[in-house]
Amino acid sequence: MTASSSAFPLPGVPAADHAALVARLAAADASVRRIALLELADLEAPELVPSFIAALRDDPSADVRSEAARVLDAWEQPEVVDALCHALLDPDNGVRATAAQSLSELKDAASGAVLCRWADRSEPFVRGAVLRGLRELRDPDAFAPALRALDASAAAVRAEAVVVLGWLKDGRALPPLARVATADADADVRRAAVGAIGFAAAGDTAVVTALLAALRDAEWQVREEAAATLGKLRIAAARDPLVAALDDDYWQVRVRAVRALGQLRDAAAASAVVALLSHTISNLRKEAALALGELRDRATLRALHDALDDRDPEVRKAVRIAIGQIDEASR
């Protein structure tokens, strides 16, 4: 784009009462054009959308183009979505970022068709932003491009692809996601994949194997996510690995592990969990108490009653809840 003191031609014929504001989009001063965009956006007039698209595409000022990208997020229609996708190729970083943000806020499933046409672009930023836009649309047609993107060279693209597949909850994605959960070179991608396979059936051997391997990942964030997903799926075979995770070097992993053990409701884990009631980290003591309430083992009542004097009120509250659950289960 080249700077110019004259405006680009404005398409369409807006309503007469908008003409003065639209004319300001042709002002030589970029700040005047930007303010005109803001005021026109407040009118919420659909006939002005072509002018917003033209500003995004042709205005010589990056500030104006960025404002146009922001304004257009209120108009979810195919030509707008396509214009925002084109803006992902803008030479200005700010414009690209604003366009990506607007695309991430799409809600209409019909927008998926436009995004899918852009989902195999070679530019990592474009591809990642488009996949991010597809995430919450849950468009079944996004499955194929997201699956292909699992092999992208850019980790950010692979991560977005993983999340799209997780939202789609298509069983065909489970084997490749399980592979990514343990084999991807990037920890953030592995963590995303570990969370994404949380829609699997508890009897899916490949998924269970991947999650148990992820519980031993070199990066604590992956281990944390693995513990959470194992608890969510209530994988009975995970009891002993989760008990082992109670000794993880990172308290965040231990918190997730003890919470997961509560979700498994296997009383055989109670003795390992009860030991955490005396841990120095109050959050762990609280989670241990809550887990014991789920495990409902009367043998833990003495330790829970002792914990009623814990110095942390949140722990004491959790202990009272646990005691109540165990007593209720015994009636």
The tens place of each residue's pLDDT in the chain, 331 residues long, gives 333 333 444 444 445 556 777 888 888 999 999 998 998 888 888 888 999 999 999 999 999 999 999 999 999 999 999 999 999 999 999 999 999 999 999 999 999 999 999 999 999 999 999 999 999 999 999 999 999 999 999 999 999 999 999 999 999 999 999 999 999 999 999 999 999 999 999 999 999 999 999 999 999 999 999 999 999 999 999 999 999 999 999 999 999 999 999 999 999 999 999 999 999 999 999 999 999 999 999 999 999 999 999 999 999 999 999 999 999 998 8
Domain membership of residue 38 (yes or no) is yes
State the Rg of the chain over Cα.
Answer: 27
Element (H, E) at 328: helix 313-330
Question: Is the CB of residue 66 less than 8 Å from the CB of residue 44?
Answer: no
- 149-171 b/e (C-beta count within 10 Å ≥ 16 → b): bbebeebbbbbbbbbbbbbbeee
Question: Is the CB of residue 307 less than 8 Å from the CB of residue 320?
Answer: no
Domain membership of residue 74 (yes or no) is yes
The full DSSP string for 65-105 is HHHHHHHGGG--SHHHHHHHHHHTT-SSHHHHHHHHHHHHT
Residues in the chain, overall count: 331
- Total structural domains within the chain: 1
Predicted confidence at residue 47, as pLDDT, reads: 87
Q: How far apart are CA 109 and CA 167, in angstroms?
A: 13
Question: Is the CB of residue 238 less than 8 Å from the CB of residue 230?
Answer: yes
Domain membership of residue 309 (yes or no) is no
Domain membership of residue 127 (yes or no) is no
Domain membership of residue 24 (yes or no) is yes
Domain region containing 64: 1-103
Predicted confidence at residue 248, as pLDDT, reads: 98
Token code pair at residue 41 = 């956006």
Domain membership of residue 88 (yes or no) is yes
Domain membership of residue 199 (yes or no) is no
Domain membership of residue 209 (yes or no) is no
CATH of the domain at 26: 1.25.10.10
